[in-house]
Structure 1
Amino acid sequence: MGQELEQEIKELIIEALDLEDISANEIEADEPLFVEGLGLDSIDALELGLALQKKYGVKIDPEANPEETRQHFSSVTALATFVAASRG
């Protein structure tokens, strides 16, 4: 799967969450997005989920499978894998 998709997702994270003090290049693809690493919270997760749905048309239903959703949102790499798999 492409680094291009990971780069797009990094830029989407910055744009969707108004992270003005960080650049896409500063986000490590395999670092945690929540708590440690980027330090996002549950509100950020909702906004990011909506942005991913709008941009890529992926369906995210955290109530259907919270553990799976947590894994998808664990890092940029995991999100890129999820988006690529969802797009077929």
Structure 2
Amino acid sequence: MSNPASTTSASSDAFTQEVAKLIVHALNLEVDPAGINPDDKLYGSGLGLDSIDILEVALVVSKNYGIQLRADHEDNEKIFSSLRSLSDYIAANKTQ
């Protein structure tokens, strides 16, 4: 019998890697998606994305997962703080 917590964690990790691949592909980054630390910052230090990159990520997330991320959303700083926070937000809100 498998542990539901470990299954959830494994599926969460797999989804985080899916989002990492999506970001790398959308932005043509020369980074191995598997090498992105899920807890590193996306913006500025860490992955080093800028505001234009974040807009592109928001567009591709919207297209792929049916989530509308607006520039004036009060939680954007938290949502885009790391790969893990972004993938958790997408998983909780995706429609596709």
Structure showing greater radius of gyration is 2
TM-score by length of 1: 0.89
More relative contact order, 1 or 2 (CA 8 Å, 6+ apart)? 1
Give the equivalent residue in structure 2 for 1:61. Answer: 70
TM-score by length of 2: 0.82
Structure 1 residue runs of 4 or more that deviate by more than 2 Å after TM superposition: none
Stretches of structure 1 lacking an aligned partner (at least 5 in a row): none
Identity within the alignment, %: 35
Aligned residues: 85
Stretches of structure 2 lacking an aligned partner (at least 5 in a row): 1-7
Rounded to whole Å, the distance in 1 between the matches of 2:73 and 2:88 is 19
Rounded to whole Å, the distance in 1 between the matches of 2:65 and 2:46 is 24
Secondary structure at the counterpart of residue 44 of structure 2: coil
Give the equivalent residue in structure 2 for 1:73. Answer: 80
